[in-house]
C-alpha cells in the first residue's frame, strides 16, 4: 500500500479533528439544552466552524445527529455484549432489557434522539439496529420453544413499549420519588404476562402447526 505524503496526512488529520470538534460541540449543546433547542447556528457559534464548513463534513442536521448517536449506541452494544448469558432465554431477555434501560437512564439526551420518530427513507444507525437485534435474540429463542402466550411481534412491541416508556417517563419526571426497584419489578411482571413456563409450553409439533 502506497504511503501517504505528509501533506495528505495533515489534511486527513485536519478533517478528523474538525469532525471530532463538531461532534463534541453537538453533544455538549444537546446535553446542556436538549434536542428542541439545538440549531446549526448555535452549533457554529459553539464549535467555531461556519455552517458551510459543518455541512461540508456532515450532509445535514439529521446525518450529524445520527453519527453522534451511532457513536453512543456503540457503547450500548458493548454493554449488551458484556451481559453474561445463561441457558434460560427468559433470564437473558431480562438481563438485556435491564441493561438497555439503565443505559437509557445514564444517557437521557442520546436516548431521546434514539426514540424520536424517523422519516421512512432514513436508515437506523447501524449500532442502534445491532442493539435491537441483540435484545430481541432471546425473544426469538423463547418463541421457538413455544413459550410465548401471544404473537411474537406483539411480544416485541410490548417489550419496546415498556422500555421506551420507562426510560422516557423516568428521565422526564424527576419530581416523582421513584422506587429503586421499579425497573426490575415492572420488567419481571411484563415477562410473566406473556411468557409461559417451560413445562407449560405446547409440544413442538403443536407450535409449528
SS (H, E, C) 53-118: HHHHHCCCHHHHHHHHHHHHHHHHHHHHHCCCCCCCHHHHHHHHHHHHHHHHHHCHHHHHHHHCCC
- What value does the mean pLDDT of the chain take? 88
Q: Which three cell numbers stand for residue 8?
A: 495528505
Coil, strand or helix at 196: coil
pLDDT tier, 153 (very low <50, low <70, confident <90, very high otherwise): very high
- From 16, 13, 11, select the one nearest 57 (Cα to Cα): 16
User: Is 39's pLDDT higher than 60?
Assistant: yes
pLDDT for the residue numbered 96: 97
Q: Between the CA of residue 69 and those of 55, 86, 95, 133, 144, what are the distances in Å?
A: 18, 30, 23, 17, 32
Specify whether the CB–CB gap between 195 and 146 falls below 8 A.
no
pLDDT for the residue numbered 86: 94
pLDDT for the residue numbered 207: 41
pLDDT for the residue numbered 91: 96
User: Is 162's pLDDT higher than 60?
Assistant: yes
CATH 1.10.357.10 in the chain, residue ranges: 69-208
pLDDT tier, 206 (very low <50, low <70, confident <90, very high otherwise): very low
Of 26-35, 90-99, 126-135, least confident by mean pLDDT is 26-35
What CATH code is assigned to 1-58? Answer: 1.10.10.60
Residue range 51-72: average pLDDT?
Answer: 90
User: Is 203's pLDDT higher than 60?
Assistant: no
pLDDT for the residue numbered 132: 94
Q: Which three cell numbers stand for residue 48?
A: 467555531
CATH 1.10.10.60 in the chain, residue ranges: 1-58
Specify whether the CB–CB gap between 153 and 71 falls below 8 A.
no
Q: Which three cell numbers stand for residue 157?
A: 412491541
Residue range 175-191: average pLDDT?
Answer: 95
Residue range 20-40: average pLDDT?
Answer: 87
pLDDT for the residue numbered 151: 96
User: Is 85's pLDDT higher than 80?
Assistant: yes
Q: Which three cell numbers stand for residue 170?
A: 423516568
Q: Which CATH architecture has domain 69-208?
A: Orthogonal Bundle (1.10)
User: Is 205's pLDDT higher than 70?
Assistant: no
Amino acid at each position: 500500500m502506497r504511503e501517504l505524503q505528509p501533506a495528505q496526512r495533515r489534511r486527513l488529520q485536519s478533517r478528523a479533528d474538525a469532525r471530532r470538534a463538531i461532534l463534541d460541540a453537538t453533544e455538549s449543546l444537546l446535553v446542556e439544552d436538549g434536542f428542541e433547542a439545538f440549531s446549526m447556528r448555535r452549533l457554529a457559534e459553539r464549535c467555531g466552524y461556519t455552517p458551510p464548513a459543518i455541512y461540508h463534513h456532515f450532509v445535514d442536521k439529521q446525518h450529524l445527529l445520527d453519527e453522534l448517536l451511532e457513536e453512543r449506541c456503540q457503547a450500548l452494544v458493548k454493554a449488551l455484549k458484556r451481559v453474561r448469558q445463561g441457558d434460560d432465554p427468559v433470564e437473558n431477555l431480562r438481563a438485556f432489557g435491564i441493561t438497555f434501560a439503565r443505559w437509557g437512564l445514564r444517557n437521557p439526551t442520546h436516548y431521546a434522539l434514539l426514540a424520536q420518530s424517523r422519516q421512512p427513507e432514513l436508515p437506523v444507525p447501524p449500532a442502534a439496529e445491532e442493539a435491537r437485534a441483540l435484545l430481541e435474540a432471546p425473544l426469538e429463542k423463547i418463541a421457538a420453544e413455544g413459550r410465548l402466550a401471544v404473537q411474537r411481534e406483539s411480544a416485541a412491541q410490548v417489550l419496546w413499549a415498556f422500555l421506551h416508556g420507562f426510560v422516557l417517563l423516568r428521565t422526564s419526571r424527576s419530581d416523582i420519588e421513584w422506587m429503586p426497584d421499579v425497573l426490575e419489578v415492572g420488567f419481571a411482571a411484563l415477562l410473566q404476562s406473556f411468557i409461559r413456563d417451560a413445562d407449560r409450553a405446547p409440544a413442538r409439533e403443536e407450535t409449528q402447526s
